[in-house]
Amino acid sequence: MLAIAAVMLCQPFPQSASAQTPPSQKSAKAPPAKPEREGAIPASKGEQVIAILVNDEPITAYQIEQRARFLALSANISEQAKANFQRLVKADSTNAQFRALQEEVIRSNQGKSREQIIAIFQERQKQLAMTLQKQAIDSARASVLPRLKKDAKEELIEERLKVQEAKRLGIEITDDDVKSMMRALAERNKMTYDQFVQHLKGMAIEVSTMNERLRAQRAWRDLIGRRYGGQISVTQRDIDRVLSTAATESGDDTIELQVGKITLGLPKIDQASLAKRLAEAELMRRKFVGCRSLGDVAKSVPGAKLEEMRFIKPSTISEPMRSMLLSAQDGDMLPPSTTAGGVEVYAVCGRRTVSGNEAQRTKTQEDLQYKQLDILAQRHMRNLRQDAHIEYR
């Protein structure tokens, strides 16, 4: 199960759920069968029937069945498996098995001490419980296969389109590339390549199912990176905003902002006084030409109070000003805001990373880049599906 979880994590772009292309009325000629890849499990003649054609490339019933089995490995079946196990444990046939097991252990271990016989029985009992547990899990997985076949079809269709588009652009993932990915996957699960292959076979998954999935993922990742990588733009402000939001929720800060603040006092709070102060604040913004000009800007308005520039933690500023400060560029003066102290105008003069958060910033940048690429990848897949000839047979 660890191996399957690792494969799901390495997927670069989520599968989109585009609407299926209606079946064509025209019957297409099936292309010649491809030679079986390494690790293929022989399929019956019925299973090799072509179920779908994607731009004349076939998807067989057997491949759909295999992919559904693969998806079932990561499906949430814990509750169903638990219910199945409880039912098996309570079954009369299981109780009969335990009684027969007890009699067989006693009969075949004559002359041994009571403690030895109990130890042997407990070990055999444990083996039987593990067998029942496996039966419960297998039954739960089998129960989800029918609904997973639809997901399997969609996944296989999009994989065909990914590899086809990659080849059109000169990107081809070789068998050696795929085997290297499989070896790396096996190592992450503390297995050799051969052990990993046997692990898959033990779950009735042929290696070619995993190979083709990895091939499509790598081809699509390379394609999207080549085509859209130059369009991705993640700024330091984007990173600051994400980190600051997370830091506020956890009670910590990952950056500090250097800000200057000018306060225009309101000795008398009425509409005319407030309007006058807001107009003066807007005048200061027009005169502002950088943080070095803050002193001169403050002197231009009677009663303005300038606080010396200092580094502050974003979490100490209430919303919406906190988000506005994080979104501003260094050297920006924000629109005025009215508080109990009067009309305040902030200027962002710089920022610095709190020590020890460099790795977190790098990860956040990668996550934001991935999200942008994911949006472009889903759009590209929608376009491919619209232009594709997909025939359900």
SS3 sequence of the chain: CHHHHHHHHCCCCCCCCCCCCCCCCCCCCCCCCCCCCCCCCCCCCCCCCEEEEECCEEEEHHHHHHHHHHHHHCCCCHHHHHHHHHHHHHCHHHHHHHHHHHHHHHHHCCCCCHHHHHHHHHHHHHHHHHHHHHHHHHHHHHHHHHHHHHHHHHHHHHHHHHHHHHHHCCCCCCHHHHHHHHHHHHHHCCCCHHHHHHHHHHCCCCHHHHHHHHHHHHHHHHHHHHHHHHHCCCCHHHHHHHHHHHHHHHCCCCEEEEEEEEEECCCCCCHHHHHHHHHHHHHHHHHCCCHHHHHHHHHCCCCEEEEEEEEECHHHCCCCHHHHHHHCCCCEECCCEEECCEEEEEEEEEEEECCCCHHHHHHHHHHHHHHHHHHHHHHHHHHHHHHCCEEEC
Residue 373 tokens read as 């690429």
Instruction: Look at the pTM and tell me if it is higher than 0.75.
Output: no
pLDDT exceeds cutoff 80 at 5: no
Identify the pLDDT of residue 163: 96
CATH 3.10.50.40 fits 255-353, yes or no: yes
Which of 386, 392, 390, 383 has the alpha carbon at shortest distance from 160?
A: 390
Structure confidence at residue 138 as a pLDDT band (50, 70, 90): confident
pLDDT exceeds cutoff 70 at 247: no
Listed by start position, the domains of the chain span 2-11+18-230+383-392, 255-353
pLDDT digits (tens, 9 = 90+) for 294-326: 999 999 998 899 987 888 888 788 888 888 888
pLDDT digits (tens, 9 = 90+) for 120-134: 888 888 888 888 888
Q: Which residue in the block uniquely carries the two structure tokens 């369009």?
A: 231
pLDDT digits (tens, 9 = 90+) for 31-87: 444 444 444 444 554 558 999 999 999 999 999 999 998 988 877 777 777 888 888
Query: When comparing pLDDT for 130 and 140, which is higher?
Result: 130
pLDDT exceeds cutoff 90 at 193: yes
In sign, the C-alpha dihedral spanning 202, 203, 207, 211 is: negative
Identify the pLDDT of residue 47: 59
Residue 128 tokens read as 């039987």
Which of 288, 262, 264, 286 has the alpha carbon at shortest distance from 274?
A: 264
pLDDT digits (tens, 9 = 90+) for 152-166: 999 999 999 999 999
pLDDT exceeds cutoff 80 at 373: yes
pLDDT digits (tens, 9 = 90+) for 335-368: 998 887 889 999 999 888 776 567 777 888 889 9
Query: When comparing pLDDT for 387 and 112, which is higher?
Result: 387
pLDDT > 70 fraction of the chain, expressed in percent and rounded: 85
